[in-house]
Structure formats: structure tokens, C-alpha cells
């Protein structure tokens, strides 16, 4: 800290009137009483940033800011009405004014002119947030929590910043170890521990929902008191579902993720707790622990280089798998070792996202998923999959029937929505379950979507998620009306494997009509009702009134669309590695059932002539 202060003192103008210098996690924050310096400090700060290699933000000392009510009035005068301002509130502890608008670009203005005008005339630092196009209780709750906990977060971030910026230890030997806490030769409970002499960093910490198993924590390598940071690649429960357990059990350190990953994590973890309660299962943590995780989250943008610990730097890049999903790149030491952890990735075209990022300067160790890495895991081209989906849906509509699409809440449902919208589908599409809340979160972060979708939303005002024919079902009466209606329609509902949820209720109502179609668009696990129907079962056990089991006869059509997965198939995984700018020296295959990681590791060794490993859970590998 002393060295940083000296550098700042040396490079800042003598009349900058600095009242406070503080850390906020990996960022340095400077508060000033000099109005002119606050208005036009960019050139000076840019030079300091290039010297210190730290992100720096200049904020106003409260003594120079315009009165809040007056500032609010000025903002409304400056910002065009079409921007759709939803809320203006202040965070005086940080010298910031938060402006939530439907069109943030108009608050920023061409070349940032509107933003600069707000800043210069109010002397508050503007923070622009997008209002979801669909009201999202989760986004609202997360933002409210972060706002009300500003004082705590300021202290917490300062504490983290001081830990990050302690001088590096003089060591005779530097090393890097990887402990496999979950997801090795299995799908579920993804969790790794990266250790150096100075750092202990967790990469993902998920649950295996199917088997109710969790990462290994009762082992010598794992000590919750020594964890410096947690990084989560994306919000699926098998990658993030056990993170609140850490906060339930005393962890108070930072959680790094993109903002949409943070919000989706809250949605899915809250639902996980609710379902566990309903099913009478032991819940590994409380909802309070989920709130603690949010309070300790440091949200990063793609491409933003951030100090994680004194000897590790983190960069998140697009993984193409899920909203906000990330490839996690760790730069360890001064060029000592570089790890790329993919989490789940998709290296191919989709309606929702761009393919996974490949332009990394250095990778020595690649940890890659192998969900569909088996020799026979070749998916049909995306165009074929989309064409088949539209053919099945159109044929059912022409017969006057209804299509039931059981879907997972996050990812697949939104992909189907985009496909239907792009093909100008005009019939009603009814949506029930958590997937509507997940869709609302997508509308809050369109900048994380594909370039095509961004262009449609930003330039043409053509947002597929708010199309008029997409209708939300919220109460059982509305569901009954959809079932009773003679109008052809599509119903997308959770759960994706027909193990409960509203999809099962629609199935009971639609099964007896030959005009209807049950259309699977996602993975059906062995033992699930969905898998049984896929295998050809035409009489299925259903719990009826009074809790009695009865046989339901399946007269409706049944079809499956392959090729809409958010995971890469074998060819895409191989292509992803081939397209990496830096050839890894070692490839570790995880997140695949049984022999599949071994099979992929064996074949990658043949193709790329590098060391390949498919470790078991509990193995510890020395990487450097």
C-alpha cells in the first residue's frame, strides 16, 4: 500500500486535493475535492494506470457534490425522455448516482457526451444500470441488497484490496497445485482448488442434484479458513449450487463472477432450497447464506483483468454456454504458469451467444469439460436442429394440436424462444415456471447475448423475449384455461425431465390427444420420466388424486430435438483446442461420465501430442 501511495503522490497533480485513497477489491479509488480534476482527470489517471497496472477510479468528495434533489432534477433535464429512466438513487458512501434506465445507451450518449454532462453538472459519478425489459424480482432484489449494504461492501472491498496488494513473498521455490474436489469422471459438483505458496483459490463449487452429493471438503487440502477467493464460471447448480454453503460455514471472502451469473445463481439456488424443503430433504444452507454470497460478489466484465490474490490475476472471457458464462483464465506469478478452466463451453453457433473465446496469450494447463466428448457424441448441425424443431411445431399447429416442451429454466427455454421468434412463429407460446424469471434476467443483460441479438435489440427494437405471443402463466386458473382452449399453442414449462413441476401437469392434460406433441429439447437423465418416454414407454405411472398412482396412456406424438445443447460435442471440443491462440502443454479432462473423460484425454493426446490427464476426484496434481 505504501508503494502505491508513493506512486500516486508522485504522479497526481499537486492541486488534486485528494481526501482519501482506498482499495475496492482489485481497484484503487481516489476521492477528490478539486472539481476540475474530477471533471477531467482521464489523461493523468491513464498514465498512472499504465505504471501501476491497477484499475483506478476517481470519485468526488461529498463536499463538492450537488444536492441530491437538485442533481436528480438536472439528470432528468439532461437525459432524453426516451431513455426510459426507471429510478435514480444515490450512494453517497461511494460518491455515485445510480441511474436505472430502459435504454442505458441514451444515458451515456454519443461518445459519452450525456454521461460527461451528468458528471460535470452534478459532480456525482454516474453508474448506469439497465432496467430489465421484463420486471425481474431477482434483479431488483440483488440490486437492492447491494445498495443497502454499501457501507459493509466498502469495508469488505477495502479489506480484500489490502490483502491483494501485500508485497509478494520472497520464496526459494514457487509451485502450483490442483486438487480435484468434484466433477472428475462424473457430471456434477464441479469444484477445483488451485494452490500456490501464497494463494488458495476455488474454481466452481457445485452440487450433484441427481445424487445429492457435494464437493469433497473433509480432506487435508481443503481448509475453509485459508480460502482467498472463489471464482464461478456460470450459474448452473452443478457449478455454483454449493457456494452458499461456504458462506454458511464461515467463509467471508470474495466471489468473482459476471453480473448475470450472480443474478442467475441467486435464482437457481433459491429454487434449490425451496425444492429441498418441499421434498423433505436436508438443505445444506439457508437463504441467508445466498444473500451473504451476493454481498461478497465482485462482478467482473469479460476481458477485465483483475488481481485475485498477491500472485494470481483473473480474466473472464465468454464461454458461449449460458448467460454470463465464463472461461476462467488464471495468470499465476510473474509469468510462472497460466491455467484456463473452461467450466462448460459451447464452441459453435447458437441464437443466444457467440462461440467460446479462444484468443488467450498464454495457456500452460487447460482444464476442459468432456460432457459430450465421447467418440459417438456428434450432434447434428444447429440449422438441422432448428429446422426439425420448426417442422414439428408447425405440423402440430396445422393439426390443431398443442406442443409441450419441458425445459430447464435457464438457457434452453430462451434458445427455443429465439428460434420461434426468428421464424416468425405467430401462435401463442405459454410459459410457466421459473423460466419466466430467468428470461427477465436475460432482458437485463443483452450485452452478454450474441452480436445478432444485440443488433436486433439495440438497433431495431426487436427483442425476442418481449414478443406479444409469449405469455406468462402464473396461477393454476390460467393453466386450466390454456388446457381447455381449442386454439393451437406451444407450452414451455419446467421441469425439463418431467420429474415434477408444471410440465407434468400439462403432460397429464395433453397426453390423450393424438394431435398434441411432447417435444424434448434437452438432456433426459437415466431414470427420469422423460427418459422413459424417450425409450418408448406409452403407459407411464402418474400420481393422481388422493396420492394414488395410475397409468397414463400416451396417445400424443413424442419427438426429440438433438443439437440444441449448450455444451460442445466432441468435434467442437477438439476444434476449440485447435483454435486456441496458445497451445496448452497439459490438458485435463473433467465433467464427463465414466470413461468419456478418459476417451477424450486419450484422443487429445494423439491429436495434439501433449500431456493429457483424466483425473479422479480427490487426486492432487502438481502443475508447476
Q: What's the pLDDT tens digit per position in 99-114? A: 999 999 999 999 999 9
How many CB atoms are closer than 10 A to CB 196? 24
DSSP string, 230-250: EE-S--SHHHHTTHHHHHHTT
Task: Please report the pLDDT score of residue 73 as a whole number.
Answer: 96
Q: What's the pLDDT tens digit per position in 65-75? A: 999 999 999 99
Task: Please report the pLDDT score of residue 1 as a whole number.
Answer: 59
DSSP three-state, residue 367: strand
- Which residues does residue 45 pair with via DSSP β-bridges, in sequence order? none
Mean pLDDT of 345-368: 96
Cβ–Cβ under 8 Å, residues 429 and 492: yes
Task: Please report the pLDDT score of residue 598 as a whole number.
Answer: 96
Q: Compute φ and ψ for 164, nearest 5 degrees.
A: -65, -35
Q: Quote the radius of gyration of the chain (alpha carbons, Å).
A: 26
Quick one: how far is CA 96 from the chain centroid?
26
Fold category of 382-560 in CATH = Rossmann fold (3.40.50)
* pLDDT category of residue 258 using cuts at 50, 70 and 90: very high
Task: Name the DSSP class of 282.
Answer: P
Nearest to 494 by CA among 421, 408, 384: 408
Q: What's the pLDDT tens digit per position in 291-302? A: 999 999 999 999
Q: Does domain 175-376+567-622 have CATH number 3.40.50.300?
A: no
* pLDDT category of residue 2 using cuts at 50, 70 and 90: low
Q: Select, from the ranges 24-33, 40-49, 159-168, the one with the highest average predicted confidence (pLDDT).
A: 24-33
pLDDT above 90: residue 588: yes
Nearest to 353 by CA among 495, 565, 206: 565
Q: What's the pLDDT tens digit per position in 539-580? A: 888 876 666 788 889 999 999 999 898 999 999 999 999 999
Mean pLDDT of 265-272: 95
Exposure on the CB side of residue 269, measured as CA atoms within 13 A? 30
> pTM of this prediction?
0.94
pLDDT above 80: residue 5: no
**Across the chain, what does the average pLDDT equal?**
93
Mean pLDDT of 365-375: 95
Exposure on the CB side of residue 318, measured as CA atoms within 13 A? 18
* pLDDT category of residue 522 using cuts at 50, 70 and 90: confident
DSSP string, 164-233: HTSPPP--S----EEEEEE-TTSSS--EEEEE-SS-EEEEEE--BTTTTB----SSTT--GGG--EEE-S
d(CA 155, CA 23) in angstroms, rounded, equals: 9
Burial class (CB in 10 A: 0-12, 13-18, 19+), 73: middle
DSSP string, 309-337: ETTEEEEEEE-SSSTT-EEEEEEETTTTE
Those residues with Cβ within 8 angstroms of residue 402's Cβ, 6 or more apart along the chain or in another chain: 396, 488, 489, 490, 491, 510, 513, 515, 516, 517
d(CA 491, CA 51) in angstroms, rounded, equals: 57
Q: What's the pLDDT tens digit per position in 84-140? A: 999 999 999 999 999 999 999 999 999 999 999 999 999 999 999 999 999 999 999
d(CA 231, CA 204) in angstroms, rounded, equals: 6
Those residues with Cβ within 8 angstroms of residue 55's Cβ, 6 or more apart along the chain or in another chain: 26, 27, 28, 49, 306
pLDDT above 80: residue 274: yes
Nearest to 296 by CA among 260, 244, 225, 331: 244
Choose between 623 and 12: higher pLDDT. Answer: 623
Task: Please report the pLDDT score of residue 475 as a whole number.
Answer: 86
Q: Which helix (H) or strand (E) holds 142?
A: helix 137-148
Mean pLDDT of 185-204: 96
Domain boundaries, the chain: 65-131, 175-376+567-622, 382-560
How many CB atoms are closer than 10 A to CB 593? 15
Query: 65-131 maps to which CATH number?
Result: 3.30.300.20
Mean pLDDT of 396-401: 96
Sole residue written with cell 423433505: 280
pLDDT above 90: residue 397: yes
Q: How many percent of the chain have pLDDT more than 70?
A: 99
Task: Please report the pLDDT score of residue 417 as a whole number.
Answer: 96
Cβ–Cβ under 8 Å, residues 98 and 89: yes
Amino acid at each position: 500500500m505504501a508503494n502505491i501511495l508513493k506512486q500516486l503522490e508522485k504522479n497526481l497533480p499537486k492541486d488534486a486535493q485528494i481526501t482519501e485513497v482506498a482499495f475496492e477489491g482489485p481497484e484503487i479509488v481516489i476521492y477528490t475535492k478539486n472539481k476540475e480534476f474530477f471533471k477531467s482527470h482521464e489523461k493523468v489517471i491513464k498514465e498512472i494506470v499504465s505504471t501501476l497496472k491497477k484499475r483506478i477510479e476517481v470519485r468526488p468528495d461529498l463536499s463538492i457534490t450537488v444536492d441530491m434533489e437538485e442533481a436528480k432534477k438536472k439528470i432528468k433535464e439532461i437525459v432524453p425522455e426516451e431513455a426510459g429512466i426507471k429510478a435514480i438513487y444515490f450512494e453517497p458512501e461511494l460518491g455515485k448516482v445510480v441511474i436505472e434506465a430502459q435504454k442505458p445507451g441514451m444515458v451515456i450518449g454519443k461518445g459519452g457526451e450525456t454521461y460527461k454532462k451528468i458528471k460535470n453538472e452534478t459532480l456525482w459519478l454516474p453508474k448506469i444500470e439497465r432496467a430489465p425489459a421484463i420486471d425481474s424480482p431477482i434483479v431488483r432484489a440483488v440490486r437492492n441488497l447491494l445498495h443497502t449494504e454499501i457501507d459493509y461492501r466498502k469495508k469488505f472491498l477495502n479489506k480484500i484490496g489490502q490483502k491483494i496488494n501485500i508485497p509478494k513473498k520472497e520464496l526459494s521455490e514457487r509451485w502450483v497445485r490442483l486438487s480435484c474436489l468434484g466433477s472428475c469422471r462424473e457430471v456434477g459438483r464441479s469444484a477445483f482448488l488451485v494452490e500456490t505458496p501464497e494463494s488458495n483459490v476455488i474454481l466452481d463449487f457445485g452440487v450433484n442434484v441427481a445424487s445429492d452429493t457435494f464437493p469433497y471438503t473433509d480432506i487435508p487440502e481443503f481448509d475453509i479458513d485459508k480460502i482467498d477467493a472463489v471464482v464461478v464460471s456460470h450459474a448452473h447448480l452443478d457449478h455454483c449450487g454449493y457456494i452458499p454453503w461456504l458462506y454458511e460455514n464461515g467463509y467471508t471472502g470474495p466471489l468473482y463472477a459476471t453480473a448475470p451469473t450472480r443474478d442467475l445463481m441467486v435464482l437457481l439456488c433459491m429454487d434449490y432450497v425451496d425444492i429441498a424443503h418441499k421434498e423433505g430433504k436436508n438443505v445444506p444452507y439457508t437463504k441467508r447464506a445466498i444473500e451473504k454470497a451476493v454481498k461478497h460478489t465482485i462482478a467482473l466484465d469479460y476481458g477485465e483483468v483483475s488481481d485475485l490474490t498477491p500472485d494470481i490475476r483473473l480474466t473472464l472471457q465468454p464461454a458461449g454456454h449460458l448467460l454470463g458464462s465464463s472461461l476462467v483464465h488464471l495468470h499465476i506469478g510473474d509469468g510462472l504458469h497460466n491455467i484456463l478452466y473452461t467450466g462448460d463451453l459451447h464452441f459453435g453457433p447458437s441464437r443466444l451467444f457467440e462461440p467460446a473465446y479462444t484468443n488467450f496469450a498464454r495457456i500452460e494447463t487447460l482444464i476442459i469439460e468432456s460432457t459430450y466428448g465421447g467418440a459417438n457424441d456428434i450432434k447434428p448441425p444447429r440449422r438441422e436442429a432448428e429446422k426439425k424443431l420448426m417442422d414439428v411445431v408447425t405440423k402440430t399447429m396445422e393439426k390443431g394440436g398443442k406442443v409441450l416442451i419441458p425445459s430447464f429454466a435457464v438457457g434452453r427455454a430462451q434458445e427455443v424462444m429465439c428460434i420461434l421468434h426468428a421464424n416468425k412463429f405467430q401462435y401463442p407460446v405459454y410459459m410457466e415456471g421459473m423460466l419466466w424469471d430467468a428470461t427477465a434476467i436475460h432482458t437485463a443483460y443483452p450485452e452478454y447475448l450474441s452480436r445478432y441479438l444485440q443488433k436486433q435489440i439495440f438497433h431495431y427494437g426487436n427483442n425476442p423475449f418481449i414478443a406479444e405471443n409469449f405469455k406468462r402463466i402464473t396461477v393454476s386458473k390460467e393453466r386450466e384455461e390454456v388446457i381447455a382452449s381449442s386454439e393451437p399453442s406451444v407450452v414451455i414449462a419446467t421441469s425439463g425431465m418431467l420429474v415434477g413441476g408444471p410440465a407434468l401437469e400439462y403432460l397429464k392434460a395433453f397426453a390423450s390427444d393424438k394431435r398434441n406433441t411432447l417435444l424434448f429439447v434437452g438432456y433426459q437423465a437415466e431414470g427420469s420420466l422423460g427418459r422413459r418416454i424417450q425409450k418408448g414407454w406409452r403407459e407411464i405411472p402418474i400420481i393422481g388424486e388422493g396420492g394414488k398412482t395410475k397409468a397414463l396412456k400416451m396417445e400424443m406424438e413424442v419427438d426429440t430435438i438433438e443439437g440444441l445443447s449448450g455444451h460442445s460435442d466432441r468435434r467442437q471440443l477438439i476444434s476449440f483446442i485447435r483454435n486456441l491462440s496458445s497451445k496448452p502443454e497439459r490438458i485435463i479432462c473433467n465433467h464427463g461420465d465414466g470413461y468419456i473423460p478418459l476417451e477424450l484425454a486419450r484422443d487429445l493426446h494423439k491429436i495434439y501430442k501433449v500431456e493429457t490427464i483424466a483425473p479422479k476426484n480427490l487426486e492432487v496434481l502438481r502443475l508447476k
